[in-house]
């Protein structure tokens, strides 16, 4: 039982660190960039500031912030219900990645009414949808859960 308590504290710290880094990166972009401003990093990566009114990668962009916040909260509740019953450390880590990403984007959406996205990966003129660090956390967590 003591192991579970320590593991839960470590997961909370891990989730908090990811959320903190995500929110700091979004705050930096918000303060230093104008909307739609781009900063060249290399031939395949730019920082490009956009406001995402949708969910991940702009899906459901026509919805209002309250509908999307409710959707985020429901998804988070479902994940937390699964998460609390998991005893394996590696699976907890994977769920922690997803939860941290969801919370980072949810906090950003509640504060601003949108999510700040800024990572633009491309090959020539073929651009992947612009995303942020929380999206990376969600995607990595889901991929690891699928593989596991």
Going by C-alpha positions, the residue among 130, 134, 131, 81 that lies closest to residue 103 is 134
Write down the pTM of the prediction: 0.83
Query: What's the mean per-residue pLDDT of the chain?
Result: 86
Instruction: Give buried/exposed letters for 92-119 (b at 16+ CB in 10 A, else e).
Output: bebbbbbbbbbbbbbbbbeeeebbbbbb
Report pLDDT digits (tens) over 51-105: 998 766 555 555 566 666 777 777 777 777 776 667 777 888 898 999 999 999 9
Tell me if residue 22 is catalytic. Answer: no
Candidate list 94, 105, 117, 141, residue with the active-site label: 117
Tell me if residue 135 is catalytic. Answer: yes
pLDDT of residue 66: 67
Candidate list 11, 97, 131, 135, residue with the active-site label: 135
Question: What is the Cα 112 distance to its own chain's centre?
Answer: 15
DSSP 8-state secondary structure symbol assigned to residue 54: S
Average pLDDT rounded to a whole number, residues 127-144: 95
pLDDT of residue 1: 46
């Amino acid at each position: 039982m003591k192991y579970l308590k320590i593991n839960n504290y470590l997961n909370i710290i891990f989730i908090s660190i990811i959320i903190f880094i995500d929110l700091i990166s979004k705050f930096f972009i918000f303060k230093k960039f104008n909307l739609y401003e781009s900063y060249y990093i290399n031939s395949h990566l730019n920082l490009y500031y956009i406001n995402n009114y949708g969910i991940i990668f702009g899906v459901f962009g026509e919805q209002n912030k309250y509908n999307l916040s409710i959707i985020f909260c429901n998804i988070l509740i479902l994940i937390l219900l699964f998460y609390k019953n998991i005893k394996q450390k590696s699976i907890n880590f994977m769920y922690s990645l997803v939860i941290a990403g969801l919370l980072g984007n949810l906090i950003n959406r509640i504060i601003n009414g949108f999510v700040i996205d800024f990572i633009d990966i491309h090959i020539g003129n073929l651009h992947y949808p612009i995303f942020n660090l929380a999206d990376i956390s969600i995607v990595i967590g889901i991929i690891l859960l699928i593989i596991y």
